[in-house]
Amino acid sequence: MPRLSNENSLMEPSREKASTFQEHLNSALIEVRKHGLWRALRNVESAQGREITLNGKKILNFSSNDYLGLAAEPEIQDAAIQAIQTFGAGSGASRLISGSLAPHRQLESALADFKGCDAALTFSSGYVAAQAAICSLMGKADIVILDKLVHASIVDAAKLSGAAIRVYAHNGLNDLEAKLKWAAAKTQQPGTASQPRVLVVSESIFSMEGDAAPLPEIVDLKDKFGAWLMVDEAHATGLYGPHRRGLVDHFGLAGRVEVQMGTLGKALGSAGGYICGSRALIDFLINRARPFIFSTAPVPAASGAATAALRFIQSKHGAVRVKKLWENVRHFEQAIGRPEKAVPSVIIPIVLGESAAALNASQVLLEQNIFIPAVRFPSVPRGQARLRATISAAHASQDVDLLVAALKKVLPATK
């Protein structure tokens, strides 16, 4: 039968291909293991909170970016349910087709109000928000200047934009100035067809170091050289400043930062990313940003929850929550004997060096029912594997004491 023999002849080479494909994957995975970089998913059987359930056991959780304990806040969950009941589980299309729903508009108007900006645009993740902004603003003829430690979403977006990339030493103002000078010389070259645009990108609070960018000085520098600035507030939104808008708010710099970016998935306890700025910036992104144009709109539940989280943060309850968070952080710093930082942060890195050391410390803590994840390359540079603990407003001060006691046990060098 010709049909069968046909199938057979097709199957032989394809089976061979399948095996080389599997071989490729397996040898890559062997390399990953060899370098102590194997990652496996943990099965968390509960909501995010001060405790999570892992393998049926209740574990004190110092791993989450849900810094205000909003992911499991009943008022915010109710808003998500309400959004589903009214607008459904899915958004049906991209925003520009038929997917721009009332929960999206409400969220963006609440975000613009909260941030004190003209306008805001939301995306299904912060990762994609970075891509949307950087890739639509910058092209092959342009220059993107990045802090050495910016998040992968920003690095990937800068690469995808095709712009020339320059990296300055982490929080290094002299190096940033040198890179800005270099870029300014390029923009003033005679005979250049189009003037390159220059964009500086920094996080405000760095995700793996927990330190703050010197934003006032960065703003002065980019103004001096006529560059633009994008600030990623992923670990600061909701936590800093008189309006809890972020570190830009803390330093009173809102009018001087061209692009403000953040996520709805951390202190806001929901999911999604945002860009805030001028009306023209937002209209530009609606018209140009491919991740906005070609992707289904965020689900109504996420937008509804994020809107409720913004309301919560701006309420008296929010003020209490933020106060509790900073009390926990101060309590920790004092108990562990660290000097107070000018700009405190909820992120506590304990750098251990080799991957195995970080993994081992994390495992020892887990056996004591305390979860602090080990963070390794490529999330941090090689040789700088660490425990990354995060403190939340959901923790009780006794939880912080348990954290300090446990850390002192695994790290005899930590006073």
Ligand X SMILES: *Cc1c(COP(=O)(O)O)cnc(C)c1O
Please report, as ranges, the residues that interact with ligand X according to CB under 6 A: 125-127, 151, 153, 203, 207, 232, 234-235, 263, 265, 273
Q: Which residue's CB is nearer to ligand X, number 234 or number 380? A: 234
- Nearest-approach distance from CB 159 to ligand X, in angstroms: 15
Q: What string of DSSP letters covers 319-331?
A: HHHHHHHHHHHHH
Q: Which residue's CB is nearer to ligand X, number 151 or number 386? A: 151
Say which residues have a Cβ less than 8 Å from residue 201's Cβ, sequence separation at least 6.
134, 144, 145, 146, 147, 150, 154, 158, 229, 230, 231, 232
- Nearest-approach distance from CB 29 to ligand X, in angstroms: 25
Is-cis flag, bond preceding 378, omega within 30?
Answer: yes
Q: State yes or no: is 266 an active-site residue.
A: yes
Q: Which residue's CB is nearer to ligand X, number 128 or number 183? A: 128
Say which residues have a Cβ less than 8 Å from residue 146's Cβ, sequence separation at least 6.
154, 155, 158, 165, 166, 167, 168, 200, 201, 202
Q: Which residue's CB is nearer to ligand X, number 269 or number 273? A: 273
Check: CB of residue 302 under 8 Å from CB of residue 272.
yes
Q: Which residue's beta carbon is nearest to the bound ligand X?
A: 126
**CA nearest to 43, candidates 57, 32, 60:** 57
Q: How far apart are CA 177 and CA 224, in angstroms?
A: 9
- Nearest-approach distance from CB 235 to ligand X, in angstroms: 6
Burial class of residue 383 in the structure, from the number of CB atoms within 10 Å of its CB (0-12 exposed, 13-18 middle, 19+ buried): exposed
Q: How far apart are CA 289 and CA 157, in angstroms?
A: 12
Q: What is the helix (H) or strand (E) element at residue 32, kind and residue range?
A: helix 2-34
- Nearest-approach distance from CB 278 to ligand X, in angstroms: 22
Among the listed residues 63, 136, 153, 207, the single catalytic one is 207
Provide the token pair at 196.
Answer: 């390159």
For strands 374-375 and 57-61, give the pairing: unpaired
Among the listed residues 250, 266, 331, 395, the single catalytic one is 266
Q: Which residue's CB is nearer to ligand X, number 222 or number 266? A: 266
Q: Which residue's CB is nearer to ligand X, number 61 or number 379? A: 379
Q: State yes or no: is 207 an active-site residue.
A: yes
Q: How far apart are CA 101 and CA 210, in angstroms?
A: 36
For strands 370-371 and 57-61, give the pairing: parallel
Q: How far is CA 343 from the centre of its chain?
A: 19
- Nearest-approach distance from CB 273 to ligand X, in angstroms: 5
- Nearest-approach distance from CB 63 to ligand X, in angstroms: 13
Helices (H), 188-256: 215-224, 247-250
- Nearest-approach distance from CB 109 to ligand X, in angstroms: 20
Among the listed residues 235, 250, 324, 331, the single catalytic one is 235
Length of the chain: 415
Q: Which residue's CB is nearer to ligand X, number 52 or number 134? A: 134
Active site members: 207, 235, 266
